[in-house]
Structure 1
Amino acid sequence: MSTAIAPKAQIPDVAGQITYAMRSMGVAPIPRNYELFYEAYIGSNSALTRELAALGNSATQEELDDIGAKYFPRHAGRIFDDAHARLSVELDAVLRALKQEQLTLDSYNRLLGETCERITSRNHNGADLLRSAIDILTAATGDTMAQGEKVVENVAQRSQEMDQVRKELDEYKRIANTDALTRLSNRRAFEDRLISIFDNQLTRPTTALVLADVDHFKRINDTYGHPVGDKILATVASVIRANVRREVFVARVGGEEFALIVEGTTAEEAMTMCERIRRALETTPFKNSRTKVDYGPITISLGICMASEAANSGELYNKADLALYCAKNAGRNCCNVYQDGMQKDFTKSWLIYKN
């Protein structure tokens, strides 16, 4: 008796297809590139997929790393390591050039000393010796000057290359500290800025922290879907940015949460700014121009705390969050300034990246 064995279901060779796609584009088969193509293959991030496809068959590693740093902040760490290695190479080359220059100058200095001794010696014919010394010094001076010019040119070239690395690092840092959806600063940049408030005791009393939260945002996502929610968040970010001074620090710190750090202000002035944001958003139309679906009104609640009310960054964040909670509890679509006496049983961890 024979038993028929059913053929195994065909399982798509995802790894093979990704590797084939990378090979077709001439992309190096290294882990961070594989991660990019994997995310593009499974379609988890449509924006990433579009940017990767736009590179075509001429993608450079630098372009791939730019995309990786934008969508996977941890890639930036590897980029920083690569840049550090490049800087080390350039600095080593500069030091070698300078050491060679030092050796050349030492040799020239010894030659000057020996020639001086020969000229002052009474055991040699003066005219012949002087003529010989002039020939030696002329040749040595020419060689030394030529070597010096090479060193200057070498150091200048290395300096240009190091300056380029510095510019690349600045750009990668900007990308790593930017929220891809709203183009505002992200949580990482916010935490650095929040901590720095307490580094300057002169500006601390006139610095305010504002935390803002889009009202009923989960309902928006559940009703219209995340793509619509993302577009609404991008618009909210634009409205906030348009209604504050240029120097105000604005960040997206969570899904629908935003934070502002305002220097040179009072609690009253911060409240006026927040009211301006709230009213502007409240009156902003959120309508699909194609389907005519109206997603609005979209409103926001804001909590304010002056840095002078807190002893450290964590306390400042918690008090601003408490003010925001009270604004939510008061019916939403309003602003609230922290005051002593506000109470809420909660402990919120804001140090995501510093822990």
Structure 2
Amino acid sequence: MATRPARLSAPAVAAILVAALALCAATASAANVTTTTATAPSGGCYSHLFTFGNSLIDTGNFIHYSTSPGPVARSPYGETFFRRPTGRWSDGRLIVDFIVERLGFPYWTPYLAGKSREDFRYGANFAVASGTALNQLLFKKKHLSVAGITPYSLAVQVGWFKKVLAMLASTEQERKEAMARSVFMVGEFGGNDYLHPLFQNKTLEWVRPLVPRVVRYIAGAVEELVGLGATTVYVPGLFPLGCVPRLLFLFRDGGAGDRDPTTGCLRGLNDGLAALHNALLRRRLAELRAAHPGVTIAYADYYGEVMELVSNPAASGFDDALTACCAGGGPYNGNFTVHCSDPGATQCADPSRRISWDGLHMTEAVYRIMARGVLDGPFADPPIMSRCHGY
């Protein structure tokens, strides 16, 4: 997660975990993130990309609203591609950046920094670090603090989309055409919903009953987009939470199940939470497909993609599956008392050889692989590019 607690207990950083994973990019100069030009796609491809989520795909919304954006606003974040911090929780580009590049779009302006129709000509990124499917009110009703979680939940982000749609399409026919030629990515959502309670010392047993409600909220957002005319929607599942270095460090003495002898990942977070969420989500998406024939509602298997890398890192050029590149030292380089951009942080020589960037978010090298799996398969069926001319 993209929050920055001052002091963390074992269950504490579980809350911070899923603040991240990836979005934005094209063929621009690394020094200029938002003004690259590109040729709009033609034929059977897409005119817009709209994305909703958390820090896994936040390309700058968090730093535009937060008065204390924390480590992501400082070097070495962004060093690999942009050569400066851009608000992305990685060393470089995110999954959505590679998708934007492949679609031939310019880097777009984060929604909270956009002002005009031109800013959203090729779509918009509504993702905000620490974003959740559930809203703050629900957490409050369960007597949880919401100080570390953004108020910009999935429902709020969908509301933002409606404003952009009204800006882009002034007539019903224009709206219908824009929706039909757009691709939507809803998520990943769920990680922060589960890890936020763990941050406040809730157990896995306490968190698991939230899963059906979280999946229901995600499915509700998909249905709302389809009701507005969306014809192509991708919904990523959770990646394996039990393989995240920060959580491996924090739960090194127990509290999240035993470790898988093959991968070293925490079974409680993987099998008992992430896999459960993904199974329910896939079932619900199948129901939505049956209810909306002719609409592509595809599941993106982030869990399978990441587990494939963790299970055999050398096959993809990685030399360490579970140790963060840039963090505070200790086992897995997972000590969260020192952040990647703080003095004294331990940084690896080559981020492209690591799966994890800062112990919570992944490296550009991983996001490139994950984007390819969604764009071309086999981790999305049909893959995004299957609709594009010349695929």
TM-score (norm 2): 0.23
Per residue, is there more helix in 1 or in 2? 1
Bigger Rg, structure 1 or 2: 1
TM-score (norm 1): 0.25
Greater relative contact order, per chain length (Cα 8 Å cut-off, separation 6+): 2
